[in-house]
Amino acid sequence: MIRKFGVALASLELFLGLSFLIASYLAVGALAGAKQAYSHPAFLSLSAFWVLNLAACTIRKRARLPGPVLVVHLAVMVIVAGGAVTWKAGKRGKLILESGTDPVRTVLDDEGVPKFDLPFAVRLDHFRVELDGEDLHRLTLSDPKEGKEWTLDVKPGGVHEVPGTPWTLVVGRFVPDLVVGDRGVETRSKEPRNPALQVAFLEDGKPRGGSWLFAFHPGMHQEDLPLEAVYEYRPAPVKQYVSRVAILDGTGSGRRTGELWVNRPLRHAGWTLYQSGYDPEDEKISILEAARDPGVPLVYGGFALLMAGLTAGFLRRRA
């Protein structure tokens, strides 16, 4: 009876059936956008059973299986073990820092609820957003009567001649999110939700009409303009965002400073700080991710074993 159970547990058919079940579960979870399904006891049990099948197969057939296959099987088990360590012992959460304020040690979850305290405090000394180039303000002017068109890349505060015409274009203010308030034209936010550019035309030095051009509402408020205008706005892409932080121990004295940015985390006392995001409305605020994961060495070791086993198996078959 036990022997029959052992044979069934180590069977390839069980592996195929469990793999299909897990793949189906994963697919439904992904299509439903339900990440929480992957920490449900049903999924964890199914995965544990899959690993048990893998272990049973590896042990029972170890004499028959080629070396690389054994390595691959072992690697998968090591990776899953690393994942289990991460799930049980890993810690991560968000640090929201504002330059010019007190150091922070409380890590928050995605809803902003405090999760735990770090063994040290982090102070944001400086935050900067580096842009790749400049904002693009492109005007396509046209004169339907003459059948002519001009494309100009302009800048707020600039003056531009329209080639081959008596027209001069004077560019005024740029407002990223135009709204008309009590004090006239204002911006609701720094985000380009309703970008608008103020323009005026001169003909031989004399004013001939002006208006606001709206990137998302072409054709609006153009009655006073001598030429038709289409305004295209493209903000300068963000190249990088960089935080300069000080890490303070329990006594409050500075232990170290450092800079971190996306893909360049900062490591301290077994913790790693990652540049996670920032607030576009307030560039004094930086959002970091703090993480500590004892499962990573196991997982990375499993990765190395997996690649070694697969590569050896592939080369062995070719030989």
Partner 1 sequence: MNGLEVNVPFAFFLASLAGWGVAHVSLRESWRRAALALLAAGWASQTVFLVLRWISAGRAPMANQYESLLVMCWAATALPFLLGGAFARERLTPWVAGLAALLLAAASLLDPTVRPLMPALRSNWLFYHVLAAMLGYGALSVGAAAALPAFRRGIDADRAAALDGLQYRAVSFGFLLLTAGILMGSVWAHEAWGSYWQWDPKETWSLITWLWYAAVLHLWRGRGWRGRRFAIVNLAGFAVMMFTYFGVNYLMKGLHAYAD
Residue 266 CB, shortest distance to partner 1, in Å, is 11
237 binds partner 1 (CB under 8 A): yes
Quote the CA–CA distance of 67 and 70 in Å, as a whole number.
5
Residue 259 CB, shortest distance to partner 1, in Å, is 14
Binding mask 149-188 for partner 1 (x = CB under 8 A): ----------------------------------------
C-beta atoms surrounding 3 within 10 Å:
7
Pairing of strands 159-161, 167-175: antiparallel
Angle at 140 between CA 225 and CA 169, to 5 degrees: 50
- Rule CB under 8 A: choose which of 241, 247, 286, 298 binds partner 1: 241
Q: Which is nearer to partner 1, 183 or 318 (CB)?
A: 318
- Rule CB under 8 A: choose which of 42, 206, 263, 319 binds partner 1: 263
C-beta atoms surrounding 250 within 10 Å:
9
Using the rule CB under 8 A, give the single segment among 119-127, 152-160, 168-176, 261-269 that binds partner 1: 261-269
Q: Which is nearer to partner 1, 136 or 185 (CB)?
A: 136
- Rule CB under 8 A: choose which of 226, 265, 294, 301 binds partner 1: 265
Q: Per DSSP, what are the bridge partners of residue 150?
A: 141
Residue 63 CB, shortest distance to partner 1, in Å, is 16
Q: Which is nearer to partner 1, 89 or 238 (CB)?
A: 238
Task: Assess contact for 104 and 290: CB atoms under 8 A.
Answer: no
49 binds partner 1 (CB under 8 A): no
Q: Per DSSP, what are the bridge partners of residue 191?
A: none
Using the rule CB under 8 A, give the single segment among 148-156, 191-199, 204-212, 285-293 that binds partner 1: 285-293
- SS3 labels along 194-224: ECEEEEEEEECCEEEEEEEEECCCCCCCCCC
Residue 149 CB, shortest distance to partner 1, in Å, is 21
Residue 27 CB, shortest distance to partner 1, in Å, is 6
Quote the CA–CA distance of 236 and 48 in Å, as a whole number.
49
- Rule CB under 8 A: choose which of 157, 269, 300, 316 binds partner 1: 300
Distances (CA, A) of 193 to 171, 215, 217: 20, 10, 11
- Rule CB under 8 A: choose which of 9, 55, 85, 296 binds partner 1: 296
Count of residues binding partner 1 (CB under 8 A)?
Answer: 47
83 binds partner 1 (CB under 8 A): yes
C-beta atoms surrounding 294 within 10 Å:
14
239 binds partner 1 (CB under 8 A): yes
319 binds partner 1 (CB under 8 A): no
133 binds partner 1 (CB under 8 A): yes
* Sites of contact with partner 1 (CB under 8 A): 12, 15-16, 19-20, 22-23, 26-27, 29-31, 33, 35, 38, 83, 86, 92, 132-133, 237-241, 261-263, 265, 272, 274-276, 289-291, 293, 296, 299-300, 303, 306-307, 310-311, 314, 317
